[in-house]
Structure 1
Amino acid sequence: MRVIGQGRDWISSELGDELMMMNIERGIYVGLNAMGAHIWRLIEAPRAVGDICAALVDAFEVDAGTCRAEVEAFVDKMEARGLVTVEEA
């Protein structure tokens, strides 16, 4: 089970449904769409991928299988950029 948390050193600001994020130390800017912004808010405290998916299925019109695949892909991209922490539990 993978547990996802917010990475350190990121400043974020909401712009409507989206989220703009910046890491001043690394000089990186990232924009997240509504789904990505929702995930970011969900992982303020680290959460299991299954819990994230359950919350997204309730909030968005998406089936559980599609949600799981998209969340896993999203987390992998975010981890590669240093936006999230990932721990195996």
Structure 2
Amino acid sequence: MDDKTRYETHPEVVSTATGDEIVLLSFRTDTYYGLNPVGARMWDLLGQGASVDTLCATLLGEYDVPEDVLRQDIRAVMSDLDAQSLIVAQEG
């Protein structure tokens, strides 16, 4: 996964808030996936199209965490979301 590639939420995935977390459901794969509050914020940003770089820059301004730790965590979540077909790379 390239840090500059922009991703967006898959069109066949719906999300619902459960408190400060989000639960995702893929109609295509019947996959359920839960995101904690930081993951929920990532999901919100992905709804507008975002890269790992964009997510990192935005979340660094919102959370008190070292950049290298945040970037590693973002990559891990993004890789998992991609593996579960919950996000797609934007074309162009």
TM-score in terms of structure 2 length: 0.85
**Deviations, residues 37-60 of structure 1 (Å, cap 9, x unaligned):** 110001112112111111111111
Q: Residue 29 of structure 2 corresponds to which residue in structure 1?
A: 26
Q: Residue 39 of structure 1 corresponds to which residue in structure 2?
A: 42
Larger strand share, 1 or 2: 1
The alignment status of 1:57 with 2:60, answered yes or no, reads yes
Any stretches of 5+ residues in structure 2 without a counterpart? none
- Counterpart contact for 1:2–1:88, Cα < 8 Å: no
**Percent of residue pairs identical:** 25
Any stretches of 5+ residues in structure 1 without a counterpart? none
Question: How many residues are treated as equivalent by the alignment?
Answer: 89
- Counterpart contact for 1:11–1:23, Cα < 8 Å: yes
Q: Residue 72 of structure 1 corresponds to which residue in structure 2?
A: 75
* SS at structure 2 position matched to 1:30: strand
